[in-house]
Amino acid sequence: MENFKNALLGVFLLLIATGFAQEYKFGKVSKEELSETAYPLDKTANAAILYENKNIYIKYIKSQGFQLITEVVKRIKLYNKDGFEYASDEVFLYKRGSDEERITDLKGTTYTLSEGKIVETKLKKDGIFKSKYSENYEQQKFTMPALKEGSVIEYKYKIISPFFSRIDRIYLQQEIPIKRLDVKVESPEYFTFKKFSTGYLPVNLKESKRSDRIVFTNSAGGGSVDNYGRRTASQSRSSQSSLDFSVNTSKIFSRNVPAFVVEPFSGNVENYISAISYELSFVNFPGEPIKYYSTTWEDVVKTIYASNNFGDELKKKSYYQEDLKTLLSGISDEEEKMSKVFDYVKNRMVWNNKYRVGTTVGVKKAYKEKTGNAAEINLMLTSMLTSAGLDANPVLVSTSNRVTALFPTLDGFNYVITRVKLSNGKLIYLDATDKYGLPNILPDRVTRGEGRVIGANNTSQRVDLRPKKPSLIRYSMQCEINGEGEVKGKFNVRHMDYLAHRFRVMHSEKDDESKVKRFKKKFEIDEIEEYSVKGIDQYGKGISESFNFAAYDQVELIENEMYFSPLLFLRDKENLFKSDKRDYPIDFGHGFTNAYMLNIKIPEGYQVAELPEAGVFKLPEDTGAFTFRSNVANGVIQIIANETINKAVITPDFYLTLKQFYNQLVEKENQQVVLKKI
């Protein structure tokens, strides 16, 4: 019995110790945390969130009414220098008119071990940076001081917001592991929210209710405050009233959350990280009419067309009428009209790199100064096309770096382009911010995002901006191998369609030396001479690059035999898809075809002993295919290979099939050609 009691006591003490070990108090960092050299559950992690607490609630504040309060506490372990990037954070504070969010109680400390003692370095004002991010947002960024490998940083802050309908997206996962995450969201019963979740991790959410009371004090002669915090007509004497209500509480407890792993071709990972979003549906106070906040797409369109910096700007026409009349003189064909107007706006205007759905300086001033944001340039384009008699509408875009909206909201968009519907039903998308753009050739920031075309009659429609056909890149090589295994020859690569557009965007402004360096780095070519590029200025056509090359390590000599890949340095050395599973889509941006044609002259005194056989690998549902053919004729090895992916986005349930496809492709490309000395 005594042994049993001792065992029971031991278990009890262990439970107490475990409980205390899991408690986190701000400012109480332990030596154990500072001494830890790697995250136990993920040795590859450069940093880990030891503890994060978010407490979000709606509170009544006298004279201010209901306010949304967000309290954040965070403790992060930095295992090495690569983890230092997580020692910075940024907060975006929204403002509209005279109302604005504000941050208070920002405190932070960096903890390090020095000769067995904990050293604390406080966050000071010189580590806090404030700046204007956009018309409606201020950015406050801070970086923790005195960072060392093994440091633990800890900080907290509070955001007070009059916009109780704007609860920021709550992330339940990061790109580093999270040891413990506690989230609490509370709102009075009069506020009804909808919840939307993203990601692939299970959400441990528990809901409950509790009671609360607000006491309203009405000052004599100063008026009273209603349930929304609004002051009413003055009264002759002070009085008090109270309001009893219940509070809806949602709690999320997460432990040992794995890091979100960024895989090849991830697209915008923000769309796939586990998170939860809240949308305010309506507010229903006793004795007050219901106020609805949830919107439909019709509401969004109605709102934006009624706004001064969008709908009103579309109506302005006088500033360009004379120029438009001259531009289109004698032109009646609608496609020619469209091209003329598009080229005119594209060549006249300079994009200031601002992503906006509304104008800042206005279309008239932007036109005069020949520079503007995305909305100014493309609303101008839409208006001019409409004036030219074409059926043109603006398209709201959520660009590739924007989280896709889970419910109808204007905040989900940050960019504008134009759509033209021709009389034959053909749809043309235009973006005049892009100097290299063409009809239906849009920049990556647009095609990888989401679009919604909107009409003046309050209608809207989601549109797919992805290219409809694969883009082609064709490699061709004429080369010969000498007796020492050195490969020399001529190389040409031709970029077509979207790949030509991407080349113009990325390389048009670069000199030839930079273009040559990229080939040397990508393919590990030893020498490149007589480089030339053609077609950069011929928009709508392909671009060709060519050069002479020498490569000294592509062929392996073993006694009287030579071994090399049939694609030489063009081969894929490894499969980029290495994970055993994938929980989110594979985003290629657009479909593509890599076509290869090689003629390899056999060195004198050698003959082909082994040559990889022809092969065809196909993905189901016409998703893609790989074909390989080889032949020997007149002392020359001829290789033709084609890799095609027809779909821009592939769902995760298809991942293992795609991985196997690339395993086969890599294996085929790395099979050896064997030449034997005669």
pLDDT, position 220: 53
Question: Would you say the C-alpha torsion 398, 401, 404, 409 has a positive or negative sign?
Answer: negative
Give the mean pLDDT of 202-219: 85
pLDDT at 18: 38
Q: If you average pLDDT over residues 322-333, what whole number do you get?
A: 94
Rounded to the nearest 5°, which phi and psi values hold at 8? -65, -40
Model confidence pLDDT, tens digit, residues 485-529: 999 999 999 999 999 999 999 999 999 999 999 999 999 899 999
pLDDT for the residue numbered 511: 94
Q: 176 forms bridges with which residues in the sheet?
A: none
Give the model's confidence band at 93: pLDDT under 50 very low, under 70 low, under 90 confident, else very high: very high
- CA-based nearest residue to 258, from 274, 241, 245, 270: 274
Instruction: Assess whether pLDDT exceeds 50 at residue 135.
Output: yes
| CA–CA dist 6, 12 (Å, integer) | 10
Residue pLDDT, tens place only, 435-481: 999 999 999 999 998 899 998 888 999 999 999 899 999 999 999 99
- Worst-scoring range by mean pLDDT, 148-162, 211-225, 368-382, 614-628? 211-225
With beta carbons less than 8 A apart as the criterion, state whether 467 and 448 touch: no
Give CA separation, 560 vs 565, 600, 678, in Å: 17, 19, 9
**pLDDT band at 12; cut points 50, 70, 90:** very low
Residue reference for tokens 């607490």: 53
Let me know: does 159 contact 70? Beta carbons within 8 Å.
yes
Q: What is the dihedral of CA 96, 99, 101, 104, to 10 degrees?
A: 150
pLDDT at 423 over 70: yes
**388's tokens:** 């030219």
Radius of gyration of the chain (CA): 32
Helix axes 334-348, 374-387, angle to 10 degrees: 150
Q: E-assigned strands of 200-238?
A: 205-218
Nearest to 388 by CA among 328, 433, 431, 330: 328
pLDDT at 410: 81
H/E/C letters for each residue in 649-663? EECHHHHHHHHHHHH
The percentage of the chain sitting over the pLDDT mark of 90, rounded to a whole number, equals: 79
Question: What pLDDT digit, counting tens, does each position of 398-412 carry?
Answer: 999 888 887 888 888
- pLDDT score recorded for residue 218: 65
Q: Which of 5-19, 203-217, 573-587 has the lowest mean pLDDT?
A: 5-19
What's the mean pLDDT in 548-576? 95
Tokens 């929304």 correspond to what residue?
Answer: 228
Residue 290 has pLDDT above 70, yes or no: yes
Close Cβ partners of 564 (under 8 Å, ≥ 6 residues apart): 481, 487, 554, 555, 556, 672, 673
Pair of tokens at residue 411: 């905040």
Each residue of 38-64: pLDDT tens digit? 999 999 999 999 999 999 999 988 888
Q: What is the mean pLDDT of the chain?
A: 91
Whether 242 shows a pLDDT value over 70: the answer reads yes
For residue 589, what are its two tokens? 């941006």
Q: According to the model, what pLDDT value does residue 2 have?
A: 46
Angle CA 308–314–316, to nearest 5:
90
pLDDT of residue 6: 46
User: Quick one: what percent of the chain has pLDDT higher than 70?
Assistant: 94
CA terminus-to-terminus distance, the chain = 90
The rounded distance, in Å, linking the Cα atoms of 364 and 216 is 50
pTM for the full model?
0.84
Mean pLDDT of 294-318: 90
C-alpha to C-alpha distance for 299 and 307, rounded to whole angstroms: 12
